[in-house]
Amino acid sequence: MKKLTFFGLFACSSLIVFSQKKVKEISILPEPVSITRSTGFYKLPDQITVSLPDLPELNETSKSVLGKLVVTGKKVSLSNSKSATIRFILTNGKDKDWMKEEGYYLSVKADGIEIIANKPAGLFYGAQTLWQLMPKEIENETKRDSNNWEVPLVVITDYPRFAWRGLMFDVSRHFFTKKEVRDFIDQMVQYKFNLLHLHLTDDEGWRVEIKSLPRLTTVGAWNVKREGYFGTFAPIPTDEPRHFGGFYSQEDIKDIVRYAQDRFVNILPEVDVPGHSMAAIVSYPDLSCTPGSDKYQVISGETFMDWPGPVARQDNTLCPANEKVYTFLDSVFTEIARLFPFPYIHVGGDECAKNFWEQSDAIKQLMTRENLKTMEEVQSYFEKRVEKIVESKGKKLIGWDEILEGGLAPNALVMSWRGIKGGIEAAKMGHQVVMSPTTYAYLDYMQGDAISEPSVYATLRLNKTYEFEPVPEGVESRYILGGQANLWTEQVYNTRHLQYMVWPRGLAISECLWSPRDKKNWDWFASKVESNFGRMDLQNIKYAKTMFDPIFQVSKDTRDSLVITLSTEIKGLDIHYSFDNSHPDNFYPVYKDPLEVPKDAVMLKVITYRGDQVLGKQIDMPVSELKNRLAKGN
């Protein structure tokens, strides 16, 4: 009996590796609701079997799971056995109602791995967590390795805080291919985002085929390639060929939608009206209130709007007083509604320049006829008519918070981007809200110091993004569907820079939308992000390391000398610096106290290390720039 017991323990040890060291914390993004860790690991056997429910909704999940496990170098197969290595189980939903649509229960024990959920989406999200439990090499598609495939013994219960967890992808300002959109979906689902908002139309291009209005894509999808700082380019010659851009055919859209659905992502289409409509007006000039619109061109990044305002130099708005506009939109939304099964259609409504409306006789007549007092009420008249069109297609209308001005359409959902004020106002009126404020969720903003980043008009650091809280004080949470981060692509020319702008700030948004509020912890989150960079490296995903870069503050002391205070977003970093124009490394002085600029110094160079490991990039800060910032009060 003793021999049998000893033999059983010995056999068990081939599956479980016990550690005498302190149990390491589990690093999962976004943070699960509950993690219970045990000492030891489950070692994957030489033959891995996977049991998955045979459902159409899980076909792609099954392929993904099997494909991922091939990297281990072990034999991988499907099995109906209850003793399969990895078991995906659907419940009847009664005994685990806490999981609802997207929650899951994951356990790693001596007899294998089990993921339980009420719905297929929960099994999918459980799989995303499982990959993060495994060694980072699971992300390496090009190399197979049969060594040391261990998973920590753990029990995780998890479900999302919000149902709406989105990323907005602007494919209008710069066009991105179908493959690039699919790659974007693959990246976002790893971190449990479930909503892709596609900004499909704007002044720079109309990106979705509308078969009844072919000029939208034969004309409106094309402009001229320019590189530099978007919005500052010189006027584009009228005879310059226009072949930069592109669009998605309806078959492309159907393929993207299917691809997203297979990964439990809904797609929200946006047709931005009445402003941001130059591509539509160039295609069909009679949609404008303004004579001469037939001479307009699709915008390529030249200056045509003045800020603040906005004040348009050319009229890029659809005309609310023109009945042809509503016929046009009826055709557009008829086809959009057929392509996108998601119950909402986004109609934009933001940054509508009204200076041309003010000069329009047709608008003045509309105001008299409808008893409209302001231009905001003119836009509200437009939005209410558009809502009826959208609802006639069996959809619900959602728009940016400007649709509140002049009176909100009766059933509209508001996406609050100018801070959270609009969302609060809409929620208190009983309307549903999605929070996407510039203050926390605009991924086109710079991530670090402007001296070292592609210039945009504002900065949003990772630690500020992590402060995002979708439910403001005094607002009933039932009106807040969730939130999303927005990536506008005026300054984003390619998919590598796209990735750089989204990650790691997208990880912060993910945790703010999925994880319980009381589970958020900046220091722990930052350590998880740093650990996750290794996984992104293996996936060839580009990301920003600006969380390691110093933050500059400048002031003057009592002697009127320039004083520089340096800090970092995360703890435990040494800032090495030089004023002598040489490149600092970890043998250079370490910043400890505010620095006084030496007489005649022209450049401060800084770089961050942890021990002997360089983490941040070298930043070269001219003393003249620091003086300018002090003069401006920055």
Residue 202 annotated in active site: yes
Same structural domain, 91 and 150: yes
Q: Is the confidence at residue 6, as pLDDT, over 50?
A: no
Q: What is the CATH number of the domain that holds 264?
A: 3.20.20.80
Per residue in 446-478, pLDDT (tens digit) is 999 999 999 998 999 999 999 999 999 999 999
Domain CATH for 70 = 3.30.379.10
Q: What is the mean pLDDT of the chain?
A: 94
Same domain, 168 and 154: no
Whether residue 121 is found in the same domain as residue 263:
no
Res. 440: pLDDT tops 60: yes
The answer as to whether 139 is a domain residue is yes
C-alpha span between 68 and 71 (Å, rounded): 6
Give the pLDDT of residue 194.
98
Residues 88 and 200 in one domain: no
| Per-residue pLDDT reduced to its tens digit, 508-517 | 999 999 999 9
Distance separating alpha carbons of residues 190 and 593, to the nearest angstrom = 41
Q: Based on the domain organization, do 282 and 176 belong to the same domain?
A: yes
Among 174, 197, 276, 576, the active-site one is: 276
Is 64 inside any structural domain? yes
Residue 582 lies in a domain: yes
Residue 39 placed within a domain: yes
pLDDT over 70, % of the chain: 95
Burial, 353: exposed, middle or buried (Cβ in 10 Å; 0-12, 13-18, 19+)? buried
What distance lies between CA 361 and its chain's CA centroid? 42
Q: Alpha-carbon distance 436 to 423, whole Å? A: 9
**149 and 245 share a domain?**
no
* pLDDT grade for 560, boundaries at 50, 70 and 90: confident
Distances (CA, A) of 125 to 225, 258, 263: 40, 18, 9
Phi/psi for 152 (5° steps) reads -65, 145
Given the residues 60, 351, 425, 625, the one annotated as active site:
351
User: Would you state the pLDDT for residue 259?
Assistant: 98
Quick one: how far is CA 373 from the chain centroid? 39
Residues 15-28 have pLDDT tens digits of 444 333 345 689 99
Average pLDDT over residues 322-343: 98
Q: How far apart are CA 453 and CA 549, in angstroms?
A: 11
Helices (H), 431-567: 438-441, 462-465, 495-502, 505-514, 522-538
Q: Domain range for residue 95?
A: 23-158
Q: Which residues contact 40 (CB under 8 A, 6 or more apart)?
A: 16, 17, 18, 19, 152, 153
Together in a domain, 55 and 186: no
Please, are residues 497 and 180 in contact by the beta-carbon 8 Å criterion?
no
Residue 319 included in any domain? yes
The per-residue pLDDT for 149 is: 93
528 within some domain: yes
- Asked if residue 53 is part of any domain, the answer here is yes
In terms of domains, do 191 and 263 share one? yes
Asked if 469 is an active-site residue, the reply is: no
pLDDT higher than threshold 60 for residue 583: yes
Q: Do residues 181 and 121 both lie within one domain?
A: no
- Residue 251 CA from chain centroid, whole number: 25
Mean pLDDT, rounded, for 298-314: 95
pLDDT value, residue 11: 41
Q: Among the three residues 541, 561, 593, which one is the final residue of a domain in this structure?
A: 541
- For residue 366, list its beta bridge partners: none
For residue 56, count other CB atoms closer than 10 A to its CB. 8
What's the rounded Cα separation, in Å, for the pair 38 and 151?
11
**Total structural domains in the chain?**
3
Residues 288 and 359 in one domain: yes
Domain finish residue from 132, 158, 184: 158
Mean pLDDT for 124-138 is: 97
- With respect to residue 459, please indicate whether it lies within any of the assigned structural domains: yes
Closest CA to 277 of 257, 251, 305: 305
Per-residue pLDDT at 14 exceeds 60: no
Q: Which pTM was predicted?
A: 0.95
60 annotated active-site: no
**Cα–Cα distance, 203 to 274 (Å, whole number):** 11
Separation between Cα atoms, residue 128 and residue 88, nearest integer Å: 13
Last residue of a domain, one of 113, 139, 158: 158
- Token code pair at residue 238: 């009228």
- Share of residues in the chain with pLDDT > 90 (%): 91
Question: Are residues 230 and 131 part of one domain?
Answer: no
Residues 251-268: what's their mean pLDDT?
A: 98
Per-residue pLDDT, 94:
62
Q: Residues 243, 145: one domain?
A: no
Catalytic residue among 150, 158, 202, 387: 202
Contact 189, 218 (CB under 8 A): no
Can you give the pLDDT at residue 142? 79
The model's confidence at residue 30, banded by pLDDT at 50, 70 and 90, is: very high
Model confidence pLDDT, tens digit, residues 586-599: 999 999 999 999 99
Closest of 216, 266, 136 to residue 532, by C-alpha: 136
